[in-house]
């Protein structure tokens, strides 16, 4: 292997509103994981190209965060899955599956993908009428949950395994929606929100939201494997690659790397390493967009994002900041949650 770092030439366009984790110093840059590499972050500063992609043109973080943001459409008729998501039933992607499966009806007729509805339309899900609330400025909430290994990201598990939802606080309106998933043996940062629109935008591949993982590789790494991983390999569901790989510690049979993705396909990190003949022995997500796992919360605990973190996350998703909406500071884990931990 010729060196610890392999990079691919920059993409022609960088997503608007994202912030490099290396710009956030101090304790926020630590993962709270193993001391031999999972929590050792590279000291190198990475800058982003400005939207438009001209080579050599750099743009500072405040400029990017203050740019124009997408506004919601003003049409009276809106897509059915958007209405369902705003009612707190799940992410748009999940709800599109419900529509395709015939679980949703509009005015007594079976709904189909692409349907738009008016405020006067009657919607039912699994035979139960949907109570449509009048539009209001609801407070968007996002939790940063530290998922331990051995928990599943589902509400009910037929095998009786522990789920992340038993750890989360109660919510008055709607329900918690996860921003993507982590598999059973993957630990780390998982964002949870009460806003289906936000969850859908953050998960959509077009947003190219950065996801950073700490990976421990067991055994030898074939020559040229790192270069291949950033240039791209063919997986069962299409080509894939890491945006960046940085060696971050370890020795002998176990070596740690930090890798960067801008999409969230199923088990993508593990499958990429396996495609070049490497064995992943530990995997932990340490960053999603602008949110860094840090030393807190501990495994099995959560914290609510601060106003600053939430506004930056909304900018990444192309949504306006919550102006004029009363929000309370991010709370510490509730007493009942701490006791369950």
CB atoms within 10 A of CB 250: 18
Residue 274: its H or E element? helix 268-275
Cβ(241)–Cβ(231) under 8 Å? yes
Cβ(164)–Cβ(151) under 8 Å? yes
Q: How far apart are CA 63 and CA 84, in angstroms?
A: 35
Cβ(211)–Cβ(260) under 8 Å? yes
For 194-331, where are the E strands, in sequence order? 211-218, 233-235, 238-240, 244-251, 254-261, 279-288, 291-292, 302-304
3-state SS class at 5 = strand
Q: How far apart are CA 68 and CA 319, in angstroms?
A: 10
C-alpha torsion sign, points 114, 118, 120, 125:
positive
Q: How far apart are CA 96 and CA 112, in angstroms?
A: 9
Cβ(215)–Cβ(256) under 8 Å? yes
Please identify which of the residues 75, 183, 195, 237 carries the catalytic annotation. 183
Q: How far apart are CA 57 and CA 327, in angstroms?
A: 37
In the block, tokens 């501990």 appear at: 298
Q: How far apart are CA 70 and CA 68, in angstroms?
A: 7
Q: Tell me if residue 157 is catalytic.
A: no
CB atoms within 10 A of CB 252: 6
Residues paired with 283 in a beta bridge: 215
Question: What is the DSSP-derived secondary structure letter of residue 190?
Answer: E
Q: How far apart are CA 115 and CA 269, in angstroms?
A: 35
Catalytically annotated residues: 183
């Amino acid at each position: 292997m010729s060196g610890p770092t392999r990079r691919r030439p920059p993409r022609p366009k960088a997503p608007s509103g994202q912030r490099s984790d290396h710009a956030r110093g101090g304790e926020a840059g630590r993962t709270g994981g193993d001391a031999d590499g999972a929590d050792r972050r590279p000291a190198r500063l990475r800058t982003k190209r400005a939207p438009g992609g001209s080579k050599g043109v750099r743009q500072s973080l405040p400029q990017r965060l203050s740019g124009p943001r997408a506004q919601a459409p003003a049409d009276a008729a809106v897509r059915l899955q958007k209405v369902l998501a705003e009612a707190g039933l799940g992410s748009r992607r999940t709800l599109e599956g419900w529509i395709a499966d015939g679980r949703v009806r509009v005015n007594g007729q079976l709904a189909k993908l692409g349907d738009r509805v008016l405020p006067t339309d009657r919607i039912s899900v699994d035979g139960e009428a949907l109570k449509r609330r009048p539009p209001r400025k609801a407070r968007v909430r996002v939790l940063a949950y530290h998922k331990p290994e051995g928990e599943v990201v589902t509400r009910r598990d037929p095998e009786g395994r522990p789920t992340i939802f038993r750890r989360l606080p109660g919510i008055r309106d709607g329900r918690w929606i996860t921003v993507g998933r982590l598999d059973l043996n993957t630990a780390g940062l998982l964002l949870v929100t009460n806003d289906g629109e936000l969850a859908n935008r953050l998960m959509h591949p077009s947003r190219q939201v950065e996801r950073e993982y700490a990976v421990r590789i067991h055994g030898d790494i074939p020559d040229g494997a790192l270069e291949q991983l950033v240039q791209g390999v063919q997986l069962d569901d299409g080509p894939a690659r890491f945006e960046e790989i940085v060696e971050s510690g370890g020795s002998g049979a176990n070596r740690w790397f930090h890798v960067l993705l801008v999409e969230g396909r199923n088990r993508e990190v593990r499958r990429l390493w396996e495609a070049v003949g490497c064995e992943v022995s530990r995997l932990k997500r340490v960053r999603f967009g602008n949110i860094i796992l840090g030393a807190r919360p501990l495994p099995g605990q959560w914290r609510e994002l601060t106003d600053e973190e939430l506004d930056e996350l909304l900018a990444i998703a192309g949504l306006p900041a919550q102006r004029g909406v009363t929000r309370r500071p991010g709370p510490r884990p509730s007493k009942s949650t701490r006791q369950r931990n």
